[in-house]
Structure 1
Amino acid sequence: MKEASNQNRSFVDDIDKEETFPLNLEDTRDDLKFLLKGSQLIKVKSGSWQKQRFYKLQEDCKTIWQESKKMLRTPESQTFSIEDIRDVRSGHKTEGMEKYAKNIPEHLCFSIVFKDQRKNLDLIANSEDDANHWITGLGKIIAHSNSMNQKQKLQHWIHSCLRKADKNKDNKMSLKELKNFLKEVNIEVNDYHAKKIFQHCDKSKTEALEDEEIEEFYKILTERKEIDNIFQKYADAEGFMSCQNLVRFLYETQQEEDAVVAAPALIQRYEPNERAKRGNAMTKDGFLMYLLSEDGNIFNPSHSKVYQDMTQPLSHYLVSSSHNTYLMEDQLTGPSSTEAYIRALTKGCRCVELDCWDGPNSEPVIYHGYTLTSKILFSDVIKAIKNYAFKTSPYPVIISLENHCSLDQQKVMAQHMTTILQDMLLVVPIDGNRSHFPSPEVRWDRRHLLPGLLGHQVGENTPRLEKGAPTEEQSLLRVLAVIRGEGKRKELLNISSIFFLPLPFSLFWFSPFV
């Protein structure tokens, strides 16, 4: 635990390396110093609740401390981990900022968006410089965390759990605190065994472990006999695995095809013992470091990018879909939010659902019909989809419209989609092909759009779209009317109507089922 300041120093040193952060070094150092010093920010919770609070980065460079005026708030509840941050957004990029800080200049505003279900933290800085320090500084720390290898992430996680377990913050671990730590890391051990190991590691006889003693305690508890057996199978009597035996292990156990080339490189990369490294051999510590690394991961690194055939029609693929996308919580009384769409899209979701209903002031809204869930504007959702559809994936996004709107508000929907999405909206099949869907990798370019007949006859009473080149708004409105399909007409319809929003353009596809 005494290593917190050293780890902080190490983090600052990492920032000075151009390969870690290809940014202006002086600016980076200034950002970090500013965050460690902290600053006053206005926390925004509603139109009437906007209060000054002090925020600062803790010395471990892993947690943010926030001032609280609540009487019974515990110290733990006044901090949050940077690991829990999904995104830091500048300006009015969250629903809260759009609602409650619209009149505040965008350059003063930023929001911290969390990975879990907790609410966004909307903040207003005193100056543009302060806001930039927070936005860029947090961004660099998050990027540093994301760039860590598997072993570094494990050490980082262990350190965070140890810090949590050290209730009195004395950088020492009592037996009780270590038991709490074991619960945090999901290690089950009976009290007798834990006490026996604790006494073995307590070399100083102070009834508290620190530094190397804590490390030894954890190492003993997490020993894996099966890994020991594998290592001993390939190691010599002195505890060294030769390069030749490492090649055997890579071939026989790991099924690596280029083992002869890989083995020497792995020794140089992961072996901490200089004597073993000079002898082109690997110790057990080096072997464990290799197993915990990206090279030892069962996942094929070449599959971190799309490697499947993406030239087939869209209907040949399973799509990552979201049902009732607008809901943040339950479907009876939970809140609806544009943030739910942003989170789904940035996680790679390619199909989102919009349940559309008539709203006040002639503005369509989205909510779970006939329930107490809150309502959000249809136009706000379309804006969110436009801004975040391709942050994670370049492939088309399907917008599934469950339309319950009157004809008048369908017209408003059509206006919003055409004015907000503009050139991202394609209103006729690419190259006029109605026999099958395009592939995800087709060139989604307006030069491929051919005006003409947009509809498809499916029944005697089905509305037909006339030939010619209708405006996008007219075409879209007709399709929305078909989507609605009430009464007898609904039984006659056999039409698929979906949106695709590929980068940099998007399309509206109208086709019979295939």
Structure 2
Amino acid sequence: MSSLPESPVTTKEAQALQPAPVAQPSAPMDATVPQLLQGGVPMLKVSAKKQKRYLFRLDPDQGQIIWESKKLRFIPIENIKELREGADARYYREQFQLAQEYEDRWLTIVYVLDGGYKTLHLIAATREIFQMWDITLRRLYAIRLQVMSGDVSVDMRNAVWEKQFWKGADEEQDQRLDFDDVERLCRRLNINPSREDLKRRFQQADTQNRGYLDFSDFKRFVKSLKARPEIERLYRRLVNGSNGLSFSAFEEFMRDCQKSSLSRTELESIFLRYASSAEGVKTPGSPPQTSLDLAMHSMSISAGVEQQVPPKADKEKSDADPSASPLPSVDSATISLNGFTTFLLSTDNSAFADQHGRIYHDMTRPLPEYYISSSHNTYLVGHQLVGESTIEGYIRALLHSCRSVELDIYDGDSQPVVYHGRTLTSKVSVRDACAAIAKYAFVASPYPIIISAEIHCSVPQQEQLVTIMKEVFGDALVYAPVDGRPKIETLPSPEDLKGRVLLKAKNLYVSEKQGLTEKEVSVDTESSTTDTSASDSDVGSEVKQEWRRAREQEKELIKDFKSEFRKARVALNRVRSPGSPSALPQSPPAPSQPTPKVKMSMALVSLLVYTVGVKCRGLNKKEKYAPEHVFSLSENTANKVLKEGMMDLIKHNRTHLVRTYPKGTRIGSTNYEPHRYWSAGCQLVAINWQTFDLGYMINHAMFQRNGRAGYVLKPLALRTADKRLLAQRTKHLLNITVISAQQLPRPKDSQGREIIDKSVIDPFVEVSIHIPDWTHSPFLPDNTSEAYSPPNGGTSLTATSARTVTCHTGVVKNNGFNPVWEQQICLPFDLVGDMKDLVFVRFSVKQENKEDDEPLAVYCASLGSLNLGYRHLPLHDGQLSQYLFSTLFVRIDIQDA
């Protein structure tokens, strides 16, 4: 193990570096960050190549980790995906060959920047400084998470926003903004008012005529900028001349517009949470409104469990229980405009039906009745031919509640390794991969993990594999003796298998019994002779041909690598045989004998219990599969099966698990659209989690549901033998009013800095609906000119695929801060068996004349989980990281055609 440079702080200095007392906050964020961390603490930044000391500081107002190397660098706290400390980051410490003594001061920050995952590895000088950093970062992230979720009042949200943008605008740190500062701020905020209008607003905020704005003036200035006239118009329409929104008007709004099915008691509880009594007294359940309330609210967030704000369920209980706190009658209370705005932005009015993260599906049904979140080539974080194999792929997938990960296992020098066979991808040990799976398997979800393994190693290393899995997974690993097993009639449920790890791999002895040839049932002893064109080795000739074509496209790259390998081998031979004539070329190797074939280890067979891999022999009455038999279909094979007999596949999938995976020619790790295979009942529809494309987005939207458990109950039409459900075909119209957007993000450079130029974005919103292949083309109304809003400048099918319908709004010029469209669009779609869960809606905010660029912001949801009515959609970047303040205000409705 290597040692590091001398500690960045001496022992004497370290003794003085105690956490500073928490000061009385002047704004919600101040209470969480000691002055020591705001001023900066020297820490070692560690990578595989070097270790270097930098001054790292936390800016609580802008919400950033900041340090300066060759350039000023920063990480927005909301971009952090994970914080790993100590033993959780041991994999990197051992990779960098650093001693164990650094482990209890080691902090790894995983974050997203420039479209990809990044890691920052830091070693603090003392344990005390490490703890200060770790605790403070987690607190700051928790606050920003609450802001993004809408679980704070509008005042709290505004306070966080104001401090962030005040700090960014006050470049000279003199606590004042002159007119030029305000003009630059407006450009950053994507606003381009006329100079005269901006001057008028500036003078209105400068109440003391000092020629500059202090923080109080600044808050008045931005309040006018952030006005929501579209919400005020809606509110005035609802109150209809009254002084406030009464409960009767609120209930009517919830029933008619929001399509709420809540009971009257539940609606009363929500109403009182945002209402004020007739005497102007704030009700106990309403969010904090005063500056003191805000400060106390923030301190309670950061103080830990004892002072934590009670969870939503408990708060609802106390609101509904008269004995808990005396609440005013709903008859004497009203909701103000501010309270109504808070409600519209809150979790009580979430666009996503499952926003509370609760498990609401029945988890006691057999495994085949669920969609299971699945990953393809999980160990890769890039290219299929030359990418890097790493445990990071497993960690990322599992933390996003993926429940099926993949291992491609080959013989290593001393133990089995994981990599993409017959490619130039790097290798990772099976033990490291299993350790990562074991560590993160049940962090996001308690339900079972299925390891889909391609095993291409020899019997001795198969034995090693079994030993490793038993050591790493312990009692969580499902295994049973081969002899004397009871016959399985029905597969167990996710509830039955909570906390368990299942292995899915080919059982070659089962294949033998099915009458396959020796060539088909054997395992190669040399990985170089094994075909691994995709996930399973039973791919058809069509896919093999596609793989060969793809390999030919990469031949120049592979040729270069092979040339380097040959040079290295020649150099190695010279070292091993110093006396040999090094100038002579290597003699060609003797023709190799046919590779001996060996059977699989019986110990490995014992791990195959509920998920036994077999070859697909067709779907007909002649072929019988045991409930535990699982086969895998490549994308092309699955497409062929769908074309020839989709109903046969649906019937098979009612009682058996089937896995699909991307075709071998997707060498860039792109994805198919998974709902194509979900519509046939396939459960394990594997995608490349490292690629943030439409397929990833749809998969993410599906498994945001059901408390992000990674298991989603399939629609009834795909679980029942009642053929009448699948015979039901209905036509509908999705009516969406795109009302406005709030604080759209600016494009950023590779360092994450906003690109501030003289131009202001001209945004529009594109809405697309993605429908499974139930029919050959989307349903369209008879009279498209009246009932359907086609894309601008074309017919109803312009810019759409066969199963996608796309429309977009007009463009709002020179305003990316609070553009208002108030434009209605209509998207036709058809359903089979009322399966709204398999129809997905995507909202993309784009720039005029940059339609082909990555969208500024996106949101995607299953139609089955999208609440109707007036909703604020949380907006995300291309990697589905949520923006802190950006939202899209829409009204959603569905009508039968």
| TM-score normalised according to structure 2 size | 0.44
SS at match of 1:355: strand
Instruction: Note the 1:15-30 alignment, pairs <5 A.
Output: none
How far apart are 1:445 and its partner, in Å?
9.0
Correspondent of 2:100 among 101, 104, 127: 104
How far apart are 1:80 and its partner, in Å?
2.0
Give CA-to-partner distance per residue, 1:150-185, whole Å, 9 cap, x none.
544565356545644655555556777667656766
Report if aligned partners of 2:60, 2:140 keep a CA contact under 8 Å in 1.
Answer: no
Give CA-to-partner distance per residue, 1:234-255, whole Å, 9 cap, x none.
2254653334433333333334
Instruction: Note the 1:33-44 alignment, pairs <5 A.
Output: 34-44=36-46
Give the structure 2 partner of residue 489 of structure 1: none
Aligned pair count reads 452
Report if aligned partners of 2:479, 2:608 keep a CA contact under 8 Å in 1.
Answer: no
What letter matches 1:10 in structure 2?
A: P
SS at match of 1:196: helix
Correspondent of 1:436 among 477, 483, 490: 490
Give CA-to-partner distance per residue, 1:338-373, whole Å, 9 cap, x none.
1221111011111111222333x2232223334443
Give CA-to-partner distance per residue, 1:199-222, whole Å, 9 cap, x none.
334323777655455445544455
CA distance in 2, matches of 1:301, 1:366: 36
SS at match of 2:107: strand
CA separation of 1:52/1:429 partners in 2, compared to 1, >3 Å: closer, same or farther?
Answer: same
What letter matches 2:388 in structure 1?
A: P
Give CA-to-partner distance per residue, 1:62-103, whole Å, 9 cap, x none.
22222x342xx14xx2x3222222222221423422311541
Report if aligned partners of 1:112, 1:121 keep a CA contact under 8 Å in 2.
Answer: yes
SS at match of 1:496: strand
CA separation of 1:248/1:497 partners in 2, compared to 1, >3 Å: closer, same or farther?
Answer: closer
How far apart are 1:61 and its partner, in Å?
7.6
CA separation of 1:417/1:132 partners in 2, compared to 1, >3 Å: closer, same or farther?
Answer: same
Give the structure 1 partner of residue 448 of structure 2: 396
CA distance in 2, matches of 1:445, 1:325: 20
SS at match of 1:368: coil
Give the structure 1 partner of residue 136 of structure 2: 137
Give the structure 1 partner of residue 344 of structure 2: 291
Higher alpha-carbon deviation: 112-121 or 259-268: 259-268
CA separation of 1:330/1:207 partners in 2, compared to 1, >3 Å: closer, same or farther?
Answer: farther
Give the structure 1 partner of residue 86 of structure 2: 91
SS at match of 2:374: coil
2:86 equivalent to 1:81: no
SS at match of 2:231: helix
CA separation of 1:365/1:209 partners in 2, compared to 1, >3 Å: closer, same or farther?
Answer: farther
SS at match of 1:343: helix
Give the structure 1 partner of residue 280 of structure 2: 275
CA distance in 2, matches of 1:340, 1:333: 15
What letter matches 2:491 in structure 1?
A: F
Report if aligned partners of 2:106, 2:123 keep a CA contact under 8 Å in 1.
Answer: yes
2:285 equivalent to 1:232: no
What letter matches 1:137 in structure 2?
A: T
CA separation of 1:39/1:303 partners in 2, compared to 1, >3 Å: closer, same or farther?
Answer: closer
2:348 equivalent to 1:317: no
Report if aligned partners of 2:378, 2:407 keep a CA contact under 8 Å in 1.
Answer: yes
How far apart are 1:231 and its partner, in Å?
0.9
Report if aligned partners of 2:61, 2:163 keep a CA contact under 8 Å in 1.
Answer: no
How far apart are 1:141 and its partner, in Å?
2.9
CA separation of 1:445/1:221 partners in 2, compared to 1, >3 Å: closer, same or farther?
Answer: closer
2:435 equivalent to 1:383: yes
Report if aligned partners of 1:418, 1:473 keep a CA contact under 8 Å in 2.
Answer: no
What letter matches 2:421 in structure 1?
A: G
CA distance in 2, matches of 1:399, 1:315: 16
CA distance in 1, matches of 2:158, 2:96: 40
How far apart are 1:229 and its partner, in Å?
2.6
Correspondent of 1:475 among 602, 605, 624: 605
2:469 equivalent to 1:417: yes
| TM-score normalised according to structure 1 size | 0.73
Q: Percent identity?
A: 29
CA distance in 1, matches of 2:56, 2:235: 48
CA distance in 2, matches of 1:196, 1:338: 55
Give the structure 1 partner of residue 515 of structure 2: 459
Correspondent of 1:156 among 154, 160, 166: 160
CA separation of 1:247/1:61 partners in 2, compared to 1, >3 Å: closer, same or farther?
Answer: same
Report if aligned partners of 1:109, 1:123 keep a CA contact under 8 Å in 2.
Answer: yes
CA separation of 1:484/1:128 partners in 2, compared to 1, >3 Å: closer, same or farther?
Answer: farther
Report if aligned partners of 2:408, 2:419 keep a CA contact under 8 Å in 1.
Answer: yes
Report if aligned partners of 1:108, 1:124 keep a CA contact under 8 Å in 2.
Answer: yes
Structure with the higher helix share, 1 or 2: 1
Give CA-to-partner distance per residue, 1:409-454, whole Å, 9 cap, x none.
33332222122222221113998352332110115699xxxxxx99
Give CA-to-partner distance per residue, 1:362-404, whole Å, 9 cap, x none.
2322233344433222210010001110001001111111233
2:47 equivalent to 1:53: no
Give the structure 2 partner of residue 352 of structure 1: 405
Report if aligned partners of 2:367, 2:493 keep a CA contact under 8 Å in 1.
Answer: yes
CA distance in 2, matches of 1:50, 1:272: 61
What letter matches 1:475 in structure 2?
A: V
Higher alpha-carbon deviation: 403-412 or 261-270: 261-270
Give the structure 1 partner of residue 298 of structure 2: none
CA distance in 2, matches of 1:421, 1:7: 47
Higher alpha-carbon deviation: 412-421 or 304-313: 412-421
CA distance in 2, matches of 1:320, 1:429: 29
SS at match of 1:241: coil
Gaps of 5+ in 2: 1-22, 284-331, 501-506, 523-599, 616-622, 633-654, 659-897
SS at match of 2:82: strand
How far apart are 1:290 and its partner, in Å?
1.7
Give the structure 2 partner of residue 123 of structure 1: 122
Give the structure 1 partner of residue 416 of structure 2: 364
CA distance in 1, matches of 2:606, 2:631: 10
SS at match of 1:275: coil
CA distance in 2, matches of 1:331, 1:184: 39
Report if aligned partners of 2:375, 2:405 keep a CA contact under 8 Å in 1.
Answer: yes
CA distance in 1, matches of 2:252, 2:657: 54
SS at match of 2:108: strand
Instruction: Note the 1:167-186 alignment, pairs <5 A.
Output: none
Give CA-to-partner distance per residue, 1:461-494, whole Å, 9 cap, x none.
5779xxxxx9984535899xx9799xxxxxx998
CA separation of 1:369/1:276 partners in 2, compared to 1, >3 Å: closer, same or farther?
Answer: same
Give CA-to-partner distance per residue, 1:19-38, whole Å, 9 cap, x none.
xxxxxxxxxxxx84553454
CA separation of 1:270/1:206 partners in 2, compared to 1, >3 Å: closer, same or farther?
Answer: farther
Structure with the higher strand share, 1 or 2: 2
How far apart are 1:309 and its partner, in Å?
1.6
How far apart are 1:259 and its partner, in Å?
4.5
SS at match of 1:369: coil
CA distance in 2, matches of 1:302, 1:459: 51
CA separation of 1:332/1:6 partners in 2, compared to 1, >3 Å: closer, same or farther?
Answer: farther
Report if aligned partners of 2:480, 2:607 keep a CA contact under 8 Å in 1.
Answer: no
CA distance in 1, matches of 2:508, 2:409: 23
CA separation of 1:339/1:7 partners in 2, compared to 1, >3 Å: closer, same or farther?
Answer: farther
CA separation of 1:302/1:346 partners in 2, compared to 1, >3 Å: closer, same or farther?
Answer: closer
SS at match of 2:93: helix
How far apart are 1:42 and its partner, in Å?
1.6
Answer 1 or 2: higher relative contact order, Cα 8 Å, separation at least 6: 2
What letter matches 1:388 in structure 2?
A: Y
CA distance in 1, matches of 2:187, 2:490: 54
Report if aligned partners of 1:91, 1:107 keep a CA contact under 8 Å in 2.
Answer: yes
